Amino acid sequence: MKNKGRKLIGFGFFTVLILTLILIIGPLDFFTNGYYCDDEFDISVAEDDLQTPVDLNEEGCVFTIEPSKRHLAGFEIRLTNQISDNEGDLVIKTYENNSKEIETQRIPLEKVGNDVWYKIYLTKNYKVGRKYTVNVSTDGAKKIPGIVTIDEDYLSNEIVESNIAAVLAYAHSTFTISVKTLFILALTGIWIAVFGKLSGKSKIFIFASVFIFLTAGLAWVFMFNSMDNLNTLFDDFQEDSETLITGPILAEEGGVWFDKKGDLKYGLGRLYNNLGQYVSYSQEPYNKRSYVDGYHTEDPIIAVKKDTFNERIIEEGTAVRFANGDEFRIISFPEDKKDTGNIFIELDAQRPFNKYKFGNVNDITFILKNGNELHTGRLIAYISQYGLAGRIYRHLARHIENDIEIEVLHLLNSLATAAVLSAIVLLLYKKYNMLLAAICYLTFLLSPWIVNFGRNLYWVEFTWFIPFLVGLFCAMHLKERKMRIISYILAWASIAIKSLCGYEYISVVMMGTISILLIECADKIAKGKRNDVLLLLRTTVIIGSAALMGFMTAIVIHASLRGNGSIMEGIKSIIEVDVLRRTHGANLNYLGSLWWESMNASVWEVFCEYFKFSTEIITGINGNLFPSLCITPLIIFGYDIYKKNTVNIKQAAAYCVLFLTSISWFCLAKSHSYQHPHMNYVVWYFGFVQICIYIIVGRIVQARLKIKRGE
């Protein structure tokens, strides 16, 4: 009893420790660093916008601040009429509710420069959204300086009812929300493992703990690519595709919506704005020659991207309204022969503009001759897919702060992908062995292709592998009728969801649903187990049919949108416009020249191209070894047949089935594969790369064991 009591007390202290760590990492956000101000105030305000300074006598200058974020570190102010050998102190006092003093800062005036932004450091805790009174004064000054006041358009909403030249500064959280979440997940896994050990039910809790750790490890790599320094594609991999999802999110936040009401049901869209077509997170205003952030530095001219969205202003535009509300008449559209991709707009103003006062070029509103406003953006639906993921992420984004929404969505996507892959690894361990499970996990962890797709919002990689997980689950519970029925339903649902998110790699994904069952069937045939073979064949046909029905369900839903209510018209449009140009048989008369080469290429030509690996296979294994990786298992099988007159049927079947699974996309979507070698190598990782490594490593392990036994 004493020993048990000690364990409980120890576990109690351990639980408190874990909870404390979770609290200081998460909700309390204890770890912070730095002193960060808005970049907008790292400039000199235009002379015309400087106003009469306020003298900092003993009574001082009073203004109000309202922090918009946590971890207020201080603020910057700009003094004038300050001399280098001044005496006395600059005194800064902060109050709550205009009466309760929070803290006082005294800074020797001789240390404060003239006409520079001086950083004031605050040490107390200031809450978000609460108003605080700041009093800036001097004590014993030889010459009384002034505090600069400026046009209020320069100021953020954090400086309340004042035009004092000040800007708030914040410390940043040391850990991003992604790091915090994964740390907390790992700590939770540790607690579950210890709890399981003490409760006497260690098996199920250890299993849960391992699942959490595997998921956290994969999610970390999917978020940060921390295992592969050579993977230079990671940071902007398929960013243009992902903006089909983030574009509608940003459009909704900016009050822009689809051109057609019927397009609202689509989840994907391409956003156009004053910066052009939104295809990259690094989209920037015009910054060439005499332009900074889209504004000419010497003349009242602005530059916006030229596209179908805003070309109307050349013929119909009369005025421009900036984000701060100022409006100016358009005088002309000067041409620049060196740059025809932008529209240059000269305005009726006396001096040049800048983004610090007038806002971002992207937030400009154009006024047309008829008095109507040209919206600040345009969203065009991407109708080649239903875009289920886009609709889901769009709804989730409404509940996430704008400045972290993409990171949070990446994190959710990474966790989902990591969880599905970890579940596959654990089920492979339970059904087969540790070596196969370990190789699969390491491949998922170290493959540049799996990692690149892991967090991408457009590709939602976890939807690719759920059908494989369902097929594996079905194979493990083959003789349980209830579990088979559940598997059929899950197969239908998982393929329908995958197809509603996107049709890419659908042949590989659907083959993945039945791949384990086919491998098991081949093994049972070799062993002569007739009843098992019949059950496996029946199950394979049913679950395959369920998967096909899932695909057709998605097609019908998509087609009803595509055909404006007519499913048959929608299916016809999908086949003619989208399917044929990505597969075979499209009429070249109806395709642009961009597609001709891919349509003329043979399946064999495409197939051969994908043996020339463009990256490492996994971290540390050169892509040049891919052909050898494919051939070595065949050599092993041939050797076994020659020397032992036998072969490992299950391994041979897995090699063949998973090989056919991978190449099905090269064959079916031949044109797509020809045009997309920058991404389609990922289909080799639907089991084929893993089984090749497993066969080779397994044979090496066997050889070492034989050597140890002296055989």
- CATH number, domain containing residue 37: 2.60.120
Instruction: Answer whether residue 343 is part of any domain.
Output: yes
187 in the same domain as 162: no
CA angle 166, 167, 172 (to 5 degrees): 155
Residue 668 within a domain: yes
Do both 298 and 381 map to the same domain?
A: no
Give the span between the Cα atoms of 94 and 66, in whole angstroms. Answer: 12
Secondary structure of 508-538 as H, E, C letters? HHHHHHHHHHHHHHHHHHHHCCHHHHHHHHH
- Whose tokens are 């996309």? That residue is 665
Q: Are residues 153 and 66 in the same domain?
A: yes
In the three-class reduction of DSSP (H, G, I as helix; E, B as strand; rest coil), residue 707 is classed as helix
Residue 3 lies in a domain: no
Q: What angle do CA 313, 315, 318 make, to 5 degrees?
A: 60
Domain boundary among 328, 357, 375: 375
pLDDT for residue 42 = 52
Number of domains in the chain: 5
20: in domain:
no
What pLDDT, on the 0 to 100 scale, is given for residue 673?
83
Look up residue 568 and give its two tokens.
């048959």
Domain C-terminal end among 173, 193, 220: 173
**Residue 222: half-sphere exposure toward Cβ, Cα within 13 Å:** 33
Same domain membership, residue 168 and residue 58: yes
For residue 221, is it within any domain?
yes
Same-domain status, 127 and 268: no
Residues 479 and 571 in one domain: yes
Domain boundary among 173, 208, 225: 173
Biggest alpha carbon–alpha carbon distance for the chain: 103
DSSP state of 579: I
* Closest listed residue to residue 455, CA positions, set 676, 234, 671, 244: 234
Q: How far apart are CA 259 and CA 251, in angstroms?
A: 12
8 Å CB contact between 278 and 271 = yes
Structural contact between residues 474 and 437, judged by C-beta atoms closer than 8 angstroms: no
Helix (H, G, I), strand (E, B) or coil at 55: strand
Q: Are residues 72 and 120 in the same domain?
A: yes
Is residue 19 in some structural domain?
no
Tell me: do 687 and 676 sit in the same domain: yes
Contacts 24+ apart (CB under 8 A), 553-560: 553/492, 553/496, 553/499, 554/386, 554/495, 554/496, 554/497, 554/498, 554/499, 554/500, 555/499, 557/386, 557/500, 558/385, 558/386, 558/499, 558/500
For residues 258 and 295, state if they share a domain: no
Q: Is residue 45 domain-shared with residue 160, that is, in the same domain?
A: yes
Residue numbers of the domain that contains 194: 181-274+376-448
> Quick check: is 22 in a domain?
no
pLDDT at 40: 57
pTM for the complete prediction? 0.92
User: Which residue, among 307, 304, 246, 309, has the nearest Cα to 279 in the 3D structure?
Assistant: 246
Low-confidence ranges of the chain (pLDDT < 70): 1-3, 39-47, 580-581, 584-587, 589-596, 599, 710-711
One domain, residues 380 and 267: yes
Q: Is position 2 within any domain?
A: no
Please indicate, yes or no, whether residues 329 and 392 belong to a single structural domain of this protein.
no
Alpha carbon 437 to chain centroid, angstroms: 27
